[in-house]
Amino acid sequence: MARKRKRSGDGINTPLDLTVEILHRLPAKSLARTRCVSKQWRTIIDDYIVKNSVVTRSLSQPSPDAPHFILDTLLDCGVVFSYTYSRQIRSERNQIVEKMFAMTATAREFQYVRGLIGFWSCTRGQFTLHNPTTRRSVPLPDTGIPPRRFYLFGYDPLRNQYKVACIARPTSEPEQSCKVFTLGDLGQEWRNIKCCIERHSPFGTAVCIGGTIYYTAKAENQRNVIISFNVVSEKFSHVFQVPEKLNVRYGKSSLVDYQGKLGCICYNYLNNEDMDVWVIENAEKQEWSKITHMAVLQGIPSSMCRFGVTHPGGEIVIVPYFYYYLGSEGYYYNPNINSRRSFVIQSPRLGGTDLVRIWPVTDPVENIMSLM
């Protein structure tokens, strides 16, 4: 049946199904701008152009306008946060474009989840969300948990929700405090949940895989462990005992999404030239597999120990873990063909002597959702 357009005093009314079909074809940034036209347009996009579909489309067709690296730059005036993405120009070369999004007096920790950046200060404790597509930032309400807290940022694939969990550092209290915040929740409040596992001190950078967040921690017996938090059920579950030869230490390894499984990439425990990739094959039985890539890290400074795995390409990204000079090389390693290539991030506003920490974004996508 042919669609009919009705003419009214306000202009031409396009049938809703046709409007939705047209909007589905727009790029993410065009959708974000269209949402600002009117309340009606915003409602149509929010109700019919499912925000998750934009992310899914970006995952299958990665956009050059999505961030590829997050930078934490140490300057005399404080710490500046930015992200970079590559844009192809007419000469077919890739140009690095940088966008600043925050500035503070203290260093921060970062987590990137499906198009959103979450970051916080280890000393001051407030968690802030930033959307690189819409370029909007929103600080979450205070948790009420004392400083020196640790945050987990993840995605619930069943309800299409983003959640943030906040864990208190161990104190003399018998139970470790923990709260959860759901992005978009009408109450806009932190909710108390039970930790229900042994007391521990989280460290390092967490990773969210299929609705579960994994992070490293030091248990009360001083052993390093890996703990999981289910974003859907909001429960802590597995405490993975780390194999003796798995070098899980702050600044020495990275948890990664390795083909949909929890992985950990680190230096080989015998030398600084080989790279080990550990993967959990059976979470219930705590069965690990290990692949050693020989001489991959040969000639690379020992400070280059923050790792990531690109999706869907499967390349391993190698960048400095601590503050390092901007303009220093990073690396991509392709395990399928045993090939390593280097890259350099350059900023038009910074010199080669500026100190920078780098977080690789291994699954860059665009996301038009409103943060609040």
Per-domain boundaries in the chain? 10-49, 57-360
Structure confidence at residue 94 (pLDDT): 45
Average pLDDT score over residue span 22-47 = 71
Task: For residues 368 and 265, give the distance between their C-alpha atoms in angstroms, rounded to a whole number.
Answer: 32
CA 212 distance to own-chain centroid: 13
Phi, psi of 140 (to 5 degrees): -80, 155
Whole-number Å distance between alpha carbons of 191 and 170: 19
Of 7-11, 41-45, 258-262, 326-330, which gets the smallest average pLDDT? Answer: 7-11
- Residue 146 token pair: 């004392």
What pairing do the DSSP bridges indicate for beta strands 339-344 and 287-293? unpaired
- Tokens 């400074």 belong to 301
Q: What is the pLDDT of residue 367?
A: 79
Residue indicated by tokens 């390409």: 313
Q: Are 198 and 207 in contact, with CB atoms under 8 Å apart?
A: no
Q: What is the pLDDT of residues 191-224, one digit of tens each?
A: 999 888 888 888 888 999 999 999 998 888 888 8
Q: Of all helices (H) and strands (E), which one includes residue 44? A: helix 39-48
Cα–Cα distance for residue pair 59/140, rounded to 1 Å: 27
pLDDT (mean) for 120-136: 81
Q: Is the pLDDT of residue 185 over 60?
A: yes
The top-level CATH class assigned to 10-49 is mainly alpha
Q: How many helices (H) and strands (E) does the chain have?
A: 4, 27
Provide the b/e sequence for 66-78 (b: ≥16 CB within 10 Å). Answer: bbbbbbbbeeeee
pLDDT at 179 over 90: yes
67 preceded by cis ω (within 30°)? Answer: no
3-state helix, strand, coil in the chain (%, to 5): 10, 45, 45
Whole-angstrom distance, CA of residue 292 vs CA of residue 117: 31
Please give the CATH superfamily to which domain 57-360 belongs.
Answer: Kelch-type beta propeller (2.120.10.80)
Whether the predicted pLDDT of 3 surpasses 90: no
The mean pLDDT of 49-59, rounded to a whole number, is: 57
Place of tokens 């499912």: 50
Per the CB < 8 A criterion, the answer to whether 114 and 155 are in contact is yes
**pLDDT confidence tier of residue 87, bands split at 50, 70 and 90:** very low
- Write the single-letter amino acid at 276: D
What mean pLDDT do residues 175-194 have?
Answer: 86
Q: Which residues contact 174 (CB under 8 A, 6 or more apart)?
A: none
Bridge partner list, 226: 216, 240
Q: What is the pLDDT of residues 252-302, one digit of tens each?
A: 789 999 989 999 999 888 888 999 999 999 888 889 999 999 999 988 877
- φ, ψ for residue 239, nearest 5 deg: -115, 105
State pLDDT tens for residues 230-257. 999 999 987 788 888 887 776 678 999 9
Q: State the Cα–Cα distance between residues 88 and 230, nearest whole angstrom.
A: 39
Of 32-46, 191-205, 351-365, the range with the highest mean pLDDT is 191-205
Query: CA nearest 193: which of 206, 179, 211?
Result: 179
φ, ψ (nearest 5 deg) of residue 106: -125, 160
Q: What pLDDT score does 272 carry?
A: 83
Predicted local distance difference test score (pLDDT) of residue 357: 82
Looking at the predicted structure, is the pLDDT value of residue 180 above 60?
Answer: yes
Residue with tokens 């640790």: 150
Rounded to two decimals, what is the model's pTM? 0.81
82 pairs with which residues across the strands? 71, 100
Per the prediction, the chain carries an average pLDDT of 79
For the chain, what's the residue count?
A: 372
Question: Does pLDDT of 98 surpass 70?
Answer: no
For 299, phi and psi rounded to 5 degrees? 80, 0
Query: Phi and psi for 180 in degrees, rounded to 5?
Result: -130, 140
- For residue 142, pLDDT over 50 is answered with yes
Q: Name residue 67's amino acid.
A: P
